[in-house]
């Protein structure tokens, strides 16, 4: 298709720019969008992307998804079914979208009214927001302050790597990763870490852009991804390359079934996924037993 050749040409132009790193490729190469890069490079490159986009991340999300990303995150939190006293970890949750929703769900008036006098509810809810990029965390902390949650002990902002979490084994009731796992260099490691930190009965939920198979819609989606989004990135965030990386990384991410298999391989049970908007986004869920 004409689109693909255009994107390939663009990709190859960027490839020649980074030829120095590509020239010394050895067997441990990974993908950075449609490019092949060394593994050590990937996290740095991703870091650069998110440093660049941090300030306009939320606006771009709204524009790119037409506001739909809010509904997707609502659905994610709904599926999680948060409860008072839970210890939750939101990985790659930089600007805090998911974390705020979980906080609201736990502290909503209805829940407080229903809370019976129970010894266990005296346990404090703790929501940890972990992100590898300090810029994203700063934006998140700012947003928390705007909401009046700046000093709230329930929200804890931690800088960390999804592949090497600093949390104890069996310490978390829930683990979510929204639009973050495709940026991880070694997905299996991130899944293994998720398995490690979750308690028995804890749930793993992953919200991620995924693969569309519906015939006509697929082409519309591809057109939108490769034509419209990088241009929007340039217009609004002033950064075409980062958003080009974004749409390419979505294509490189394993499809729903494959990812579900990877989750199962990490040891999780009851692995399921739900497609939203025909596969544009998928929520994978699993339990650790």
Residues at the contact surface with other proteins, assessed by CB under 8 A: 79-83, 86, 114, 116, 118, 120, 173-174, 198-203, 257, 260-261, 264, 268-274, 285, 287, 289
162 is in an annotated binding site: yes
What is the nearest approach in angstroms of other proteins to the Cβ of residue 287? 5
Query: Within 13 A of 277's CA, how many CA atoms are on the CB side?
Result: 17
What is the nearest approach in angstroms of other proteins to the Cβ of residue 202? 5
What is the nearest approach in angstroms of other proteins to the Cβ of residue 175? 9
What is the nearest approach in angstroms of other proteins to the Cβ of residue 120? 6
8 A C-beta contact, residue 204 and residue 285: yes
As a whole number of angstroms, the distance between CA 35 and CA 14 comes to: 8
What is the nearest approach in angstroms of other proteins to the Cβ of residue 288? 8
The distance in angstroms from the start CA to the end CA of the chain is 46
Residue with smaller CB distance to other proteins, 49 or 286: 286
Residue with smaller CB distance to other proteins, 47 or 254: 254
Residue with smaller CB distance to other proteins, 167 or 268: 268
Cβ neighbours for 87, distance < 8 A, ≥ 6 positions apart: 125, 126, 128, 171, 172, 173, 174
What is the nearest approach in angstroms of other proteins to the Cβ of residue 264? 5
As a whole number of angstroms, the distance between CA 91 and CA 175 comes to: 7
Residue with smaller CB distance to other proteins, 223 or 289: 289
Residue with smaller CB distance to other proteins, 33 or 279: 279
95 is in an annotated binding site: yes
Residue with smaller CB distance to other proteins, 38 or 284: 284
Q: Which residues are annotated as a binding site?
A: 95, 131, 161-162
Binding residues for S-adenosyl-L-methionine: 95, 131, 161-162
């Amino acid at each position: 298709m004409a689109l693909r050749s255009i994107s390939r040409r663009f990709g190859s132009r960027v490839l020649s720019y980074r030829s120095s790193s590509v020239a010394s490729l050895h067997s441990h190469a990974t993908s950075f969008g449609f490019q092949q890069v060394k593994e050590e490079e990937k996290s740095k490159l991703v870091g650069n992307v998110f440093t660049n986009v941090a300030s306009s991340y939320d606006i771009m999300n709204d524009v790119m998804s037409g506001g739909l990303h809010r509904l997707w995150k609502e659905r994610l939190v709904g599926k999680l079914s948060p409860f008072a006293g839970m210890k939750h970890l939101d990985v790659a949750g930089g600007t805090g979208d998911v974390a705020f929703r979980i906080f609201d769900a736990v502290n909503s008036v209805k829940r407080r009214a229903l809370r019976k006098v129970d010894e266990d509810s005296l346990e404090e809810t703790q929501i940890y927001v972990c992100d590898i990029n300090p810029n994203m965390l700063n934006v998140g902390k700012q947003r928390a302050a705007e909401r009046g949650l700046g000093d709230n002990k329930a929200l804890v902002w931690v800088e960390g790597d999804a592949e090497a979490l600093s949390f104890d084994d069996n310490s978390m009731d829930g683990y979510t990763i929204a639009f973050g796992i495709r940026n991880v260099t070694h997905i299996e490691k991130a899944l293994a870490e998720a398995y490690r930190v979750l308690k028995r009965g804890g749930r793993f939920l992953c919200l991620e852009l995924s693969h569309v198979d519906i015939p006509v819609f697929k082409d519309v989606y591809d057109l939108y991804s490769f034509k419209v989004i990088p241009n929007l990135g340039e217009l609004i965030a002033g950064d075409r390359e980062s958003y080009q990386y974004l749409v390419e990384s979505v294509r490189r991410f394993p499809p729903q079934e494959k990812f579900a298999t990877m989750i199962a391989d990490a040891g999780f049970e009851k692995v399921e996924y739900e497609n939203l908007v025909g596969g544009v986004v998928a929520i994978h869920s699993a339990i650790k037993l």
